[in-house]
Chain A
């Protein structure tokens, strides 16, 4: 072992350049792997830790009734359930509110509760991050921070055409009700404000139930049971609920996307690092054939020589990976800042020794394996053959592009000869470009569908969108529709109302109702089969259908308002709003079970119409009968801003990283090529080739592989990216991705990367200037 270590030290000293490249790649790979593991293991667990620390409920219910009989019934039933560990009931005021956020609006089911009452709660506690004296409102921390609300600012809530202005007094943290992604969103107010709010007609006296259960894995089943109880207690009661399973996923969507992308980049860099290491080992053997022969001649075994290489690379890997891991902790605050703007839950960074060890161990194994497999050739070297520079250095099989037959210019022909002679080089370029193609196409896809025009993203993730949504009392529905029909600002208005149902023997489902699904804006929601047409039909979320083993043509029994009805499944939907627990049915179909008391209409307005003005007009006309007026575009803008900003950062990072990786890989390859062909360049210069011609030949020699790999990689990626993204989003119910593939972006990125590769190769080949023909004479060989 000592002998192997001695050789390893000597190798590192001799091959400083190769060592540097290995160091940079391993450093990046270790840093990103550690970041990925922190994000996917500890960052995700932060929700569980916060949830436990705040003793938050695993299931929460917001019910708009404080009627003694109902609350007593619910309390008794919930306490009797053996799974219930703790129950906390707090009077709150509930309303569908919207308020400005992230240069847009956010619309949510919000409930206001008194700060004092919140502090007394034993289950579902909150923790204050900022507090100040005076009356006003405390917001979930998600809405604070740079570019959003600060203490002392005024927040304007809007609901049912009414306005409510409150002063922001601080921010708090809540696991289950601290974001619009939680289904219910809490706002704490000081006692005096709470008393004022009790008088507001758009805020309904309600009870907020927080229930802790013995096993959090049962949260979805428990939530279904709670909803069942609610419909038994009072079919007319309006109720909303959430579960640990749903909130822990919906608050961490950005974390999932980000960790997915970081892991893809980490493995891409690792793959390149392994190819480079394997190539370095092969080059080392090639260049040191004589030395290896000499060492074998004096008694070193093949295993000892291979072990020396193994020690050399493992030494570099361990030291570098440790630095990479440390660097990831340096970078993490930036990633954390980006994540917190969506999760809304602060994360306290801490050192994770097991994660670090896992990264070190994993990198050690793959680097060791790569070195060992590439170093096996050493064992086959015969000392005498190696000392005579053996046959290993000359294994030309074909004279590609014979000059007497070649048609192109001389420099191009010589470049093609070089390109075809270096298969190992081509493989490295090809792997790098194929991997980069996928990353580039993904970035382009996100840029086109999230940053340039969000419609495809909204269609896929949100399901249905229009300009405005007005919720009207059914009693005045006919009149309302007549007014809309006569309003020349209205392009299209159709019923799109969400109610809650329960699948008998299954879970609660969100049902989107319409009179006529042929009028909806997003027909892509049903990706297999068809929309329901008749009152005994429904389309169901594919994710839920798969979980329940349901197929198109099956019959499913649903319940609402205490009535049951059977429906035929006509199609599968992929709405991801409720993490794959959705269905579609006609209004008449729903009315076989229950009756609507109010109805939401989606309205497309003529281009240029002021949505807020339109809402004011209609609300004024139907005073008291419009329960909610949502500016959907503004809500989209507000709630998606965090994703857009995150995606913009990721796209920029990916593009920069792509150019860096191309430059780095080319640097390695050009350097290796120049070393390998130094003698040939000397000869060619002696024969009369100019430096410019040789630089051109070198740079051109990379182009065929770069261009072909990119063309192949980009085409295949463009054709398959929607399927890959659908696979990635399957967890939230997306089955068929219909993002617009940005062909123009892909062509420009491919051409740009090819040109960049050519330019970088030219720049890196400038070293050829230093090769003088006289080295042939002075050194008697190069």
Chain B
């Protein structure tokens, strides 16, 4: 029996644009489980990113309830949500969003020191994570603009994982990278997931989706279907066929 990590009930989100109300998420009931690598797919404008930042407490829903463990996060204020995020969430963005004015190490510690005051332990963990993602020690003092796209995104992953988050939220993490560096990033994420890290990723890239054990397909603000792929094994041809068939069924 999988442990429930995050649950939504009747989650809806609407925006007013030019005086017209747009319902981006419609009455979504969803459960995410600890240790899963969940991918959210869908066409552009389906509401993937809106769902991601509603789930992660970056935004509040218009209606509905989101529960993380025992805590209802949909009722929290923006400052309470900030505290929730620092304790429970890690983020990997498509545009990476490292702070240009800080060194690689400081980008990571800046997030880490929010949740822990043990600087020594944090620095040690940061070094271990850097090693795990293949970032050499000589890069720790560099500025983000001095890194390649792949290196920067791996630093982004280290920053996201420094506080050992309950869930790692990834928004198109390979979207701005070339195929080789994109693959390195995916390998990194898959590696952490295998060690028990829960991951929720928004993507429209089949390569990324193949890494997941669970696919959710979003259409017009509702979950149209979902597919269980099982644990990722490299070179599993059957997995690819199953995913293709699911996506075909969803109208991809």
- A contact residues vs B (CB 8 Å cutoff): 394, 396, 399, 402-404, 410, 414, 417-418, 421, 679-680, 682-692, 772-774, 776-778, 780-781
For B, the interface residue count at a CB cutoff of 8 angstroms equals: 40
With CB as the reference atom, state the residue of chain B lying closest to A407. B119
Closest CB of chain B to A577's CB: distance in Å? 62
Cβ-defined partner of A687 (8 Å) among B49, B86, B105, B143: B86
- State A772–B93 Cα separation when bound (angstroms): 15
Cβ of B190 under 8 Å from chain A: no
Cβ of B123 under 8 Å from chain A: yes
Q: Given A687-B85, A688-B86, A774-B53, A399–B103 Cβ distance below 8 Å?
A: yes
With CB as the reference atom, state the residue of chain B lying closest to A688. B86
With CB as the reference atom, state the residue of chain A lying closest to B59. A774
Cβ-defined partner of B119 (8 Å) among A399, A404, A421, A772: A404
Within 8 A of A (CB), among B62-103: 78-79, 82-87, 89, 91, 93-95, 97-103
Q: Which residues of A contact B102 (CB under 8 A)?
A: 399, 403, 417
One digit per residue, 1 when the CB lies within 8 angstroms of any chain A CB and 0 when it does not, for chain B 46-61 equals 0001001100001100
Q: Given A417-B101, A692-B79, A686–B145 Cβ distance below 8 Å?
A: no
Q: Which residues of A contact B53 (CB under 8 A)?
A: 773-774, 777
- State A776–B93 Cα separation when bound (angstroms): 8
Tell whether, in the assembled complex, residue A410 and residue B114 are in contact, meaning their CB atoms are under 8 Å apart: yes
Tell whether, in the assembled complex, residue A396 and residue B99 are in contact, meaning their CB atoms are under 8 Å apart: no
Q: Which residues of B contact A690 (CB under 8 A)?
A: 78-79, 82-83
Cβ of B141 under 8 Å from chain A: yes
Q: Which residues of B contact A778 (CB under 8 A)?
A: 49
Q: Which residues of A contact B114 (CB under 8 A)?
A: 410, 687-689
- State A686–B86 Cα separation when bound (angstroms): 8
> What 8 pairs across the A-B complex have the smallest Cβ distances?
A688-B86, A403-B109, A399-B103, A690-B79, A688-B85, A394-B145, A690-B82, A687-B111
Number of A-B contacts (CB under 8 A): 99
Q: Which residues of A contact B100 (CB under 8 A)?
A: 394, 396
Tell whether, in the assembled complex, residue B58 and residue A686 are in contact, meaning their CB atoms are under 8 Å apart: yes
Tell whether, in the assembled complex, residue A688 and residue B111 are in contact, meaning their CB atoms are under 8 Å apart: yes
Closest CB of chain B to A348's CB: distance in Å? 60
Tell whether, in the assembled complex, residue B106 and residue A403 are in contact, meaning their CB atoms are under 8 Å apart: yes
Q: Given A777-B49, A780-B94, A686–B143 Cβ distance below 8 Å?
A: no
- State A63–B139 Cα separation when bound (angstroms): 94
With CB as the reference atom, state the residue of chain B lying closest to A694. B82
| A–B pairs, 29, beta carbons within 8 Å | A396-B100, A396-B101, A403-B106, A403-B110, A404-B105, A417-B101, A417-B102, A417-B106, A683-B98, A686-B58, A687-B85, A687-B86, A687-B159, A688-B89, A688-B111, A689-B114, A690-B78, A690-B82, A690-B83, A691-B79, A691-B82, A773-B58, A774-B53, A777-B49, A777-B52, A777-B58, A777-B93, A780-B94, A780-B95
Tell whether, in the assembled complex, residue B82 and residue A399 are in contact, meaning their CB atoms are under 8 Å apart: no
Cβ of B171 under 8 Å from chain A: yes
Tell whether, in the assembled complex, residue A781 and residue B95 are in contact, meaning their CB atoms are under 8 Å apart: yes
Q: Main SS of the interface on chain A?
A: helix
**7 more CB-based (< 8 A) A-B contacts, given A399-B102, A403-B113, A776-B97:** A396-B100, A399-B141, A403-B105, A403-B106, A404-B119, A688-B86, A776-B93
Cβ-defined partner of B115 (8 Å) among A404, A688, A772: A688
- Which residue of B105, B110, B145, B159 has the most chain A CB atoms within 10 A of its CB atom? B110
Closest CB of chain B to A190's CB: distance in Å? 82
Tell whether, in the assembled complex, residue B103 and residue A402 are in contact, meaning their CB atoms are under 8 Å apart: yes
Q: Which residues of A contact B123 (CB under 8 A)?
A: 404
Tell whether, in the assembled complex, residue B83 and residue A688 are in contact, meaning their CB atoms are under 8 Å apart: yes
- State A410–B118 Cα separation when bound (angstroms): 12
Closest CB of chain A to B62's CB: distance in Å? 14
Q: Which residues of B contact A682 (CB under 8 A)?
A: 97
- State A692–B82 Cα separation when bound (angstroms): 11
Tell whether, in the assembled complex, residue B143 and residue A777 are in contact, meaning their CB atoms are under 8 Å apart: no
Closest CB of chain A to B54's CB: distance in Å? 9
With CB as the reference atom, state the residue of chain A lying closest to B202. A777
With CB as the reference atom, state the residue of chain B lying closest to A680. B99
Tell whether, in the assembled complex, residue B106 and residue A402 are in contact, meaning their CB atoms are under 8 Å apart: yes
Q: Which residues of B contact A399 (CB under 8 A)?
A: 102-103, 106, 141, 143
- State A384–B189 Cα separation when bound (angstroms): 36
Closest CB of chain B to A546's CB: distance in Å? 57
Q: Which residues of B contact A396 (CB under 8 A)?
A: 100-101, 143, 145
Closest CB of chain B to A776's CB: distance in Å? 6
- State A247–B79 Cα separation when bound (angstroms): 70
Within 8 A of A (CB), among B110-166: 110-111, 113-115, 119, 123, 141, 143, 145, 159
Q: Given A404-B123, A686-B58, A686-B85, A410–B79 Cβ distance below 8 Å?
A: no
Q: Which residues of B contact A776 (CB under 8 A)?
A: 93, 95, 97
Q: Which residues of A contact B109 (CB under 8 A)?
A: 403-404
With CB as the reference atom, state the residue of chain B lying closest to A418. B101
Q: Given A402-B106, A688-B115, A777-B58, A394–B97 Cβ distance below 8 Å?
A: no
With CB as the reference atom, state the residue of chain A lying closest to B103. A399
Q: Which residues of A contact B83 (CB under 8 A)?
A: 688, 690
Closest CB of chain A to B85's CB: distance in Å? 4
- State A161–B103 Cα separation when bound (angstroms): 86
Q: Which residues of B contact A691 (CB under 8 A)?
A: 78-79, 82
- State A688–B112 Cα separation when bound (angstroms): 10
Q: Which residues of A contact B59 (CB under 8 A)?
A: 772, 774
Closest CB of chain B to A408's CB: distance in Å? 11
Q: Which residues of A contact B93 (CB under 8 A)?
A: 776-777
With CB as the reference atom, state the residue of chain A lying closest to B99. A680
With CB as the reference atom, state the residue of chain A lying closest to B78. A691
- State A421–B89 Cα separation when bound (angstroms): 29
Closest CB of chain B to A287's CB: distance in Å? 15
Cβ-defined partner of A683 (8 Å) among B52, B97, B105, B119: B97
Q: Which residues of B contact A774 (CB under 8 A)?
A: 53, 58-59
Cβ-defined partner of B171 (8 Å) among A403, A689, A692, A777: A777
Q: Which residues of A contact B103 (CB under 8 A)?
A: 399, 402
Q: Given A686-B91, A688-B87, A777-B53, A402–B110 Cβ distance below 8 Å?
A: no
Closest CB of chain A to B218's CB: distance in Å? 15
With CB as the reference atom, state the residue of chain A lying closest to B100. A394
Closest CB of chain B to A266's CB: distance in Å? 37
- State A680–B111 Cα separation when bound (angstroms): 12
Within 8 A of A (CB), among B15-61: 49, 52-53, 58-59
Closest CB of chain B to A688's CB: distance in Å? 2
With CB as the reference atom, state the residue of chain A lying closest to B101. A421
Tell whether, in the assembled complex, residue A688 and residue B49 are in contact, meaning their CB atoms are under 8 Å apart: no
Tell whether, in the assembled complex, residue B58 and residue A410 are in contact, meaning their CB atoms are under 8 Å apart: no
Cβ-defined partner of A688 (8 Å) among B52, B82, B94, B141: B82
- State A417–B102 Cα separation when bound (angstroms): 8
- State A690–B87 Cα separation when bound (angstroms): 13
Cβ-defined partner of A680 (8 Å) among B84, B91, B94, B101: B101
- State A772–B82 Cα separation when bound (angstroms): 11
Q: Which residues of B contact A777 (CB under 8 A)?
A: 49, 52-53, 58, 93, 171
One digit per residue, 1 when the CB lies within 8 angstroms of any chain A CB and 0 when it does not, for chain B 196-224 equals 00000000000000000000000000000
- State A260–B164 Cα separation when bound (angstroms): 65
With CB as the reference atom, state the residue of chain A lying closest to B145. A394
Q: Which residues of B contact A394 (CB under 8 A)?
A: 100, 143, 145
Closest CB of chain B to A92's CB: distance in Å? 80
- State A679–B144 Cα separation when bound (angstroms): 14
Q: Which residues of A contact B58 (CB under 8 A)?
A: 686, 772-774, 777
- Which residue of B79, B93, B106 has the most chain A CB atoms within 10 A of its CB atom? B106
Q: Which residues of A contact B119 (CB under 8 A)?
A: 403-404
Closest CB of chain A to B228's CB: distance in Å? 27
- State A256–B89 Cα separation when bound (angstroms): 67
Closest CB of chain A to B68's CB: distance in Å? 14
Q: Which residues of A contact B113 (CB under 8 A)?
A: 403, 410
- State A683–B106 Cα separation when bound (angstroms): 14
With CB as the reference atom, state the residue of chain B lying closest to A405. B119
With CB as the reference atom, state the residue of chain B lying closest to A404. B123
With CB as the reference atom, state the residue of chain A lying closest to B140. A404
Q: Which residues of A contact B86 (CB under 8 A)?
A: 687-689
